[in-house]
Amino acid sequence: MDSWWDLGEWSGSSGKNLTTHDIVCPFCDEKGNFSAAFHAEKKKAQSTKKLNFDTLKCENCASYVMVMWSSSSFGNVHEKVILPRSLKVQNYPKHWPDAVGRYWLQAKSNLARSHRLDGNAYSTTKISQSQ
């Protein structure tokens, strides 16, 4: 994808409207329990293409997530980008083969565990200085 105007054109979830049932709150891990707090949109000139900017409020913990989303110009598909993302690593990208995804998840889990043991996320790449 070279432009945000391509969001939703090549892949996404079914339906031309934003679905929130699969969005997980990055603060409390509650899934799909959001209300709309703010909506803005920007239309592409001389096109039906539209980027939507929604702020959703988690009904469990009252935190907010921002969702930029767009439906495809010709189909019944939409794609979204969510910010902030959860800091927990629970899934690998949908388009990856299971065998690759399992190893990637295991590696990410091991890295997260070693960072927690260090108590510092940036301390795993220490540069030793010779004297």
Check residue 23 for interaction with Zn ion (CB under 5 A). Answer: no
Distances (CA, A) of 99 to 90, 93, 107, 110, 125: 15, 12, 13, 17, 28
Number of residues lying near Zn ion (CB under 5 A): 8
Helix (H, G, I), strand (E, B) or coil at 3: coil
Closest to Zn ion by CB, 27 or 92: 27
State the minimum distance, in angstroms, from the CB of residue 67 to Zn ion. 14
Check residue 25 for interaction with Zn ion (CB under 5 A). Answer: yes
Dihedral angle sign, alpha carbons of residues 89, 4, 72, 68: positive
Check residue 117 for interaction with Zn ion (CB under 5 A). Answer: no
- Residues 7, 92: Cα–Cα separation, whole Å: 20
State the minimum distance, in angstroms, from the CB of residue 30 to Zn ion. 5
Check residue 28 for interaction with Zn ion (CB under 5 A). Answer: yes
Yes or no: say if 30 and 57 are a contact pair by the CB < 8 Å rule. Answer: no
Check residue 111 for interaction with Zn ion (CB under 5 A). Answer: no
Q: Which positions touch Zn ion (CB under 5 A)?
A: 25, 27-28, 30, 58, 60-61, 63
